[in-house]
Amino acid sequence: MDGLPTCAVSCLVQAIPSSNCSLTDIACICLDQQLSAQVQVCGLQSCSIKDNLRSERALYEICDYPVTVDNKVFPVLMYVGIVISAIVVSLRVAGRLIASSFGWDDAVSLLSMGTVIAVTVVGLLNAHYGLGKDLWFIPFNDITTILHLYYTIEALYVASIALSKMSMLLLYLRLFPDKRLRLILKLILAFTTAWGIAILFANIFACQPISYFWNMWDGEHKGKCLDAQQLLWAHAIINIVLDVVIVGLPMPALFKLNMSWKRKAWLVFMFSAGIVVTVISILRFIHSLTFDFLDNFTKTVVPVSIYSLLEVYLSIIVASLPGVRALLAYIHTAVNGKPSSYKYDYKYTGPSGASGAAATTTSLIPPPSAVRAGTFDVDAETAKGGEFIALEETRSQSRVDGYVDSRGASRAESRTRTRTRSESRSRSRARGMSQGRSESRATGQGRRVSKAWFD
């Protein structure tokens, strides 16, 4: 029994009479589970935490117990997760920059990506110091380091999850113009921001002094901490509810879009992918309930850590899917030579037909930026007898990041912000009659031609 602390040897001597083993029968002692349980109970009362860890390690070495290390999935998940997340976010940002539409949702997504990178770095350091091993096989200084890193990763996890939700809500605000929906989105965004800040500070200042969080394990330091279970419930329940709400909010607007069922199904799938994150959050919560922070935590925390990483990576990936789709569609449009940018209409008001109705034709024109840059001559075009209408970036329900609801002049389209410039004069109309009539015959009366950005 060399290597056992004195207090552990005393506990063994006290427990031997109640067993069929002798002090010299090592094989019998190692196989007697009831004896081992009695020694452990005595050790918790008579030995320090460090002596108990020394005793456990000595028993593993003396009895040649099998040693298992649960640190294979953890690093692989981090490497794969950070690579995929970085690619997806990069594609999202690239698409926004190409389209000159970089917004607050993209900025917040980049902040979230920063926290994801930090989570990965700290997680890999934790694996290096022994996360996944039994606590008694880890040097005491490394145990303190692992807990310090765990404290850091918990704060980064909370920040990353909150930022991903905020990015998604800000994206919704860009896409959906309905006043009632926008008000709801703003309220939820404010609540999510407040919740994220509150949970972040609760995690940072959970223990007083703060260093007690990573020093309490040895029982040699003084301090106090918030109830970990209460903090867990407060975070998990609100987190899951927000996930469900964020997934469900855009669904009514998406179902109302007038487009092919395939495109609608793809949109619904893309915006409902967050349900996977919700499932991961629930699984993490369930495993957290059975996790004992003071019972071999360097090994028992691994399942919770895996679910936390999955939630972090999937949250930022799901929040970036619409932007990635937009970039891929933009590339497809560029390759196929289809018009890009936004939806624009060009209308000529020509002579009256036989029935007295105005004959109109429409064609696609460059975006307003081209007009402002002087590459499109509005005066020359209006001199033909027409009226120039440039629909700037579509903010209506008819556009969902690249898809357009093609119902024509519907109520949704009427809510689109327009800029109208009309310089029609009687002289211009007279000069443009013949041209307007010929164009009307060429394209058909009342025909509207519209395209969508990234369609």
| Annotated binding-site residue numbers for heme | 25
Encoding tokens for residue 433? 């009659």
Complete DSSP assignment for 61-126: HHHT-------SHHHHHHHHHHHHHHHHHHHHHHHHHHTT---HHHHHHHHHHHHHHHHHHHHHHH
Instruction: Determine how many CB atoms are found less than 10 A away from the CB of residue 372.
Output: 10
State the Cα–Cα distance between residues 224 and 127, nearest whole angstrom.
27
What single DSSP character describes residue 257?
-
State the Cα–Cα distance between residues 151 and 358, nearest whole angstrom.
72
Please report which residue ranges of 257-367 form alpha helices under DSSP H: 261-272, 274-289, 297-300, 302-336
Binding residues: 25
Taking alpha carbons only, the member of 323, 326, 319, 324 closest to residue 404 is 326
Q: How many helices (H) and strands (E) does the chain have?
A: 19, 8
Taking alpha carbons only, the member of 184, 262, 272, 198 closest to residue 235 is 198
Q: Compute CA distances 441 → 12, 299, 435, 437, whole Å.
A: 103, 77, 10, 6
User: From the centroid of its chain, how far is CA 203?
Assistant: 20
